[in-house]
Amino acid sequence: MDDFIARPDGDLSWLVSRGEAAGDAGFTPFMESVDALLMGRSTYQAIADQDDWPYLGRPVHVLSSTLPADVDPRITVHRDVAAAVDVLSEAGHRRVYVDGGRTTRAFLEAGLITELTLSRVPVLIGQGAPLFGPLSADIELEHVRTEVLGGGMVQTTYRVLPRADATPESVARAV
């Protein structure tokens, strides 16, 4: 609820412990709708620590300047956003699920996010890794749908409106 997606040490138990009440939260149809995933190293490590690898066989790409390329056969490691975007584009992936705070912020700033789905868990944790952060200009959203899920989770999907100043060059600079 307060924009933090993990505790300062990366702990997600405040979220994972609510899994049963929330049910699938639309995750399966959402995963079926994407071609691939892209996340940052912190998000990858938080997920890799869980029992479950919930990505239905979709290719998982991870941004990291430090992880060894062969750290995990389930993932492909990229050293920066531009390299990841190149590989995803060349593979023909049109709809990529971008996850994690830093990665989402970089893609928002680059104008590469077209749709944003937020699932708000009814708890204030007070500190940790934020989802949102500084931007070079406002980003306008358009409400698409809101659903109240089990456990009081409120899930809203927005369309991200193009920024007035977005050009291919600004995207190239941003990544």
Q: Rule CB under 8 A: which residues touch a copy of itself?
A: 1-3, 14, 108, 118, 120, 122-127, 131-143, 146, 148, 152-154, 156, 158
Distance of closest approach, residue 17 Cβ to a copy of itself, in angstroms: 11
Closest CA to 59 of 42, 41, 39, 79: 39
* Least distance CB 36 / a copy of itself (angstroms): 25
Closer of 23 and 152 to a copy of itself (Cβ):
152
Least separation in angstroms between residue 155's CB and a copy of itself is: 10
CB of 149 to a copy of itself, least distance (A): 9
Of 67 and 174, CB closest to a copy of itself: 174
Strands 96-99 and 115-120: unpaired
- In this structure, what token pair is assigned to residue 160? 């991200």
Helix H or strand E segment including 157: strand 154-160
The least CB distance from residue 103 to a copy of itself, in Å, is 16
Which lies closer to a copy of itself via its Cβ, residue 17 or residue 50? Answer: 17
Closer residue to a copy of itself in complex, CB, 87/151: 151
Angle between helical axes of 81-90 and 101-109 (0-180°, round to 10): 80
Q: Shortest CA distance to 74 belongs to which of 62, 90, 64, 66?
A: 62
| Minimum CB distance to a copy of itself smaller for 76 or for 170 | 170
**Strand, coil or helix: what is 117?**
strand
- CB neighbour class for 56 (10 Å; exposed up to 12, middle 13-18, buried from 19): exposed
